[in-house]
Structure 1
Amino acid sequence: MKPKLAVLLAVVTVAAAAAVLFGTPPFMIAGGSLLALLLPGAALTGALMRGRDLSGVERTVLTAALSLAVLILGGLVIHVCGFSIGRTSWTVATAGVTLVALVPAGLPDRWVSVLKRLVSKLWDEEEEDEPESEPADGAVPGPAATAAAPVAGVPVAAVPVAAAPTPVLTEDQVSTMLLPKVVDDGPADDTADARGTRRLVWQLLPLVLVLAVLGGASWLSYGSSQNSYESTVTALSAGQPGPVTGSGTRLVPITATGLLPEYGPYTLAVVGPTGKTAEQRTIPVSGDGTWTAAISLPSRQRMTVNLLRAGETTAYRTLYIAAER
């Protein structure tokens, strides 16, 4: 990835995050789509596949797959860290991963070559010089037989060749010839074993990383499922309405369960079809967090029952009571 393209993607990432956090709904949708399906995968593809020629199909598939992987793993990490999963956390996670991945993806080629040389010096050992071929132990260099050199006008066969004198071996040379020859190739074998080990480690490294990611995701998913299973769920329900009275009202039993003290006291608001609040009650949290009461509601109107937590203006739970036909 060229440095100019990396800078452009960084600017687009910041603009998309700002649109999601502070923009209007159309800009929020556009920025969220870029952060969810395009930008993280493009940055990671440029960082992980730097220097490789990828086809258009391969680059498209990798971009979408890596973007979805960032969403999944980012959500699990956010949940395990104790942060609430929402618009802000998702935006920070996806934009942060994109900006971090753009740093190695957009490095100039000369910087990358310098880093590669540095890594090669740290991991690779210098090749040992091969030993020069030596004469066999016990071999005594003697005067070589002089080859017959062609003489002008004289046939080669006619040129006399001096016979080489028979070498006289000393006692030490004879002992050396009788001893077994020991070849010391230990350092070469050690070097080959070390190179083979390093090559095996580099080949297995991607598989180990994949297994680590899958294992971490499984562990996070298991912890998330345990926390979700043990969490308390607040529910709002209604029982069978009573008979209609002469005034056109009926008693409807309303029950709220799973009320938590840290969110109390709760507020129960009954809203009519015109949006006007017909009744409002404060619900304290006591005992096992269950509250129930019979509320008189008009039988000919569709009523909305809202349950609000303390200090909030948006309904936490909503219940609709149909009109009597």
Structure 2
Amino acid sequence: MNPVRAGVLAGLTVVASVAAGFGPLAVAAPAGLLLAFVLPGYAITAAMFRREIGMVERSVLVPSLSLAVLVLGGLGLWAAGGHLNRAGWTLLCAVVTLIAIGVAFYRHAKDPEETGRIRFRISQDRLIRDVLPLTLAVLLLAGAGVWSYADSVGTYDIRVSTLSAEPPGPAGADGARTVQISATGLASSAGPWSMVLTGDEGVEISRQAITPDTGGDWTGRLTVPGDERVTVNLFRGGETGAFRTLIIAADAQ
């Protein structure tokens, strides 16, 4: 790495560190992303390779090595008793980047001929080797992102049905307990809904139809035996298998 590039990269690292550590959110966020995912990997790549590397290699190595710095450096910082906070991460990335810049600059100063300036020449071979794979990768990521966004929009309003119970009350003189059961997300179009209680041996204790409110919620109080485990089954429509199930344990007394 020649002196000009080393100076620019070191200055950018210092500015990004100050912005990430002390700046407002609008400035700290992009500076932190640059310091975490770009600068360490770029500096380490320059320190590791003397030969010219392609665009695809660099685009993969830079974020990969930056993530490696975060993972390994974070483990080392934690093992040494440091704090994994804003200041800790900023200092870690800045120090690693500056050290890598120093190594790259030293290697250039030691053998400037071998570590000479990288020349970028557009040729058919480079186009096929670098630009085309990178373009395909970008298109693949863009397609995956569009599909993911469309799927999230399509599934955003899907109802999630739940069945829950409050802790049962104490057993009465007859040994029965009262428990409050709640169900949510019960679409009227999927009804009619019914609730069936069964005991330890699978024997049906009670059955009742439930009618959710306009929001698809239902709450009611049921009486269950205190001396056996009770299974609460929620059925929808004409289905023979329970749609939701919960278990109320027997009274420990």
Which protein is richer in strand relative to its size? 2
- Structure 1 or 2, whichever has the larger Rg, is 1
TM-score by length of 2: 0.46
**Larger RCO: 1 or 2 (CA < 8 Å, sep 6+):** 2
TM-score (norm 1): 0.37
